[in-house]
Structure 1
Amino acid sequence: MNFPDEFQKQCIDLAQKLIGIKAARFHITDPHMHKKGFVGLNVKNEMEKKYYNKLEYIDPMHPSKFEDTNTTVISSNTIMPHTKWLNSVFYQDFIKPYGYVHVADMFFRNHGKIIAILTLLRDDSMDEFGSKDLDTMRNIQPFLEYSLNSIYLPARISEREFIADNYGLTNRELDVLEYALSGADNKTIAKQLNISLPTVRTHLQHIYPKIDVHSTNELISKVLRELNIQAG
């Protein structure tokens, strides 16, 4: 719903000061390990769309690969030799075209499930993420994870309950609404929820009369306004 953008921006700012980066992407994830609630530094929206559309599932650093581990920090140079990374399809098609070379991820969990990822990027003017950098990331990860769980999850649960109680939306309709509020288009919603595009449209057609709106733009505007009022 109303993702904690300011918290995400502060985390990126902290990483920039402590570690040194050229760009960053902070994502809130859904239960199916898809990324949403994106806040970025020097990362264009087209990069996110490209990732969602065809490159997410060849990402060697995808969080689903680390879901059942205790890993909190990884980097491109720790998951594979640097030469192999440079020759990978994911690097060639996704990282290199935007001028970046080195990548590091910090995972945040709730009850063992990854709920957010902070991705840090460096270009070829900077060194790869070394042991000191990774140690710094591991040292700040517990505090950021605690803060995220204290800020994000209670707010998300509260907002979903508020919408469900006021408008009688089903859980799946809430999922569709949540993606719509994060800025996703119908095609992206369908892909992320693993449903067909017509099914997304059907859910939206069911949501509109419940909330007394006639379009997605009206829907987003009204729900965000009421969430802001509820947050007081």
Structure 2
Amino acid sequence: MTSSIQGGANAHRRFAHHVTGLARCLVPASGWIFYRVRDARIDDLLLVDERADRFDAYFQDFQQLDPLSPQACLPRDAVASLGQRLTPALAAHARYYSDFMQPYRLCDAVELYIPAPSGECFGLSVLRDAGMPAFGAAEVASLAALQRLAAMAADTLGPGDVSRPPATRASLLRLYPELTERELDVAHAVSRGMGNKEICREEGMALSTVKTHLQNIFRKTGLRSRTELAGGVEGRRSGP
């Protein structure tokens, strides 16, 4: 694992695929999301294998309520399960369960936080649909062992490999020259895992304006959902 991820501009994506591939061998799950954390929030999304409707709903309305979010877990907990942390007596947790988990059939989740040399870290969400069992103690322990292994492997990436690729926005412009400057701003923000309300704050837009830009982006690019955009347009169109 270590030798195959060293060096190169795409080391961060290779790392995401290696760690997620190992997790797939350890536990069954229905969704996988690998991302980079910066300033205690989800920043760049490196791998997305998740239902588009649930993914979109999470980043639009429910990220701030998640008991496993970076804000809720870091710096204390490197591995956390939803079954262990969800507290129905808390209003935010109760809403997360009733308005998100139940309608979108999310049974359980485990979050792994993997420290990186730059002081940032990576995150891996392992998700189970309703109808699957909750994660057992042995499964969480196996994922915790993977987290420790991945943390050692992350040391080989080096700070330069961990930083966000500067060409992300330029790649969007190259692939989709028909997008306006503000549409590019929104597309870039979505590709970094930002929800609509976060985009409003960062870009100084009204919520209705963000939604209009998203509609225009999907119409012009032919992309069908935020999942495709957030999964890395450059990787999907140009290959590794």
TM-score using structure 2 length: 0.60
The change in CA–CA distance for 1:45 and 1:2 in structure 2 (over 3 A counts) is farther
Q: 2:20: which partner in 1?
A: 12
Q: 1:140: which partner in 2?
A: 146
Q: 1:109: which partner in 2?
A: 115
Secondary structure of the residue aligned to 2:20 is helix
Secondary structure of the residue aligned to 1:49 is helix
Question: CA shift at 1:15, angstroms?
Answer: 1.2
Rounded Cα–Cα distance in structure 1 between residues aligned with 2:35 and 2:129: 21
Of residues 55, 68, 71, the one that matches 2:75 is: 68
Q: Tell me: higher relative CO, structure 1 or 2? Use CA pairs within 8 A at least 6 residues apart.
A: 2
Code of the residue aligned with 1:130 in structure 2: it is G
Higher helix share: 1
The change in CA–CA distance for 1:123 and 1:16 in structure 2 (over 3 A counts) is same
Alignment of 1:8-157 (within 5 A): 8-41=16-49, 43-69=50-76, 71-80=77-86, 88-110=94-116, 115-151=121-157, 153-157=159-163
Equivalenced residues, count: 194
Contact 2:23/2:146 (CA < 8 Å) preserved in 1?
A: no
Contact 1:37/1:182 (CA < 8 Å) preserved in 2?
A: no
Question: CA shift at 1:118, angstroms?
Answer: 0.8
Contact 1:67/1:112 (CA < 8 Å) preserved in 2?
A: no
Q: Kindly name which structure, 1 or 2, has the bigger radius of gyration based on alpha carbons.
A: 1
Question: CA shift at 1:136, angstroms?
Answer: 0.7
Q: Percent identity?
A: 14
Question: CA shift at 1:8, angstroms?
Answer: 1.7
Two-structure CA RMSD over aligned residues (Å): 4.5
Rounded Cα–Cα distance in structure 1 between residues aligned with 2:120 and 2:200: 16
Secondary structure of the residue aligned to 1:97 is coil
Rounded Cα–Cα distance in structure 2 between residues aligned with 1:88 and 1:111: 36
Code of the residue aligned with 2:58 in structure 1: it is Y
Code of the residue aligned with 2:12 in structure 1: it is P
Question: CA shift at 1:132, angstroms?
Answer: 0.6
Contact 1:33/1:114 (CA < 8 Å) preserved in 2?
A: no
What are the ranges of 5 or more consecutive residues in structure 2 without an aligned counterpart?
A: 1-8, 170-183, 207-220, 222-233
Contact 1:27/1:117 (CA < 8 Å) preserved in 2?
A: yes
Secondary structure of the residue aligned to 2:106 is coil
Q: 2:179: which partner in 1?
A: none
Question: CA shift at 1:98, angstroms?
Answer: 3.1
Question: CA shift at 1:91, angstroms?
Answer: 2.5
Code of the residue aligned with 1:58 in structure 2: it is L
Code of the residue aligned with 1:49 in structure 2: it is D
| Larger displacement relative to structure 2 (12-21 or 90-99) | 90-99
What are the ranges of 5 or more consecutive residues in structure 1 without an aligned counterpart?
A: 164-175, 199-216, 218-223
Contact 1:190/1:196 (CA < 8 Å) preserved in 2?
A: no
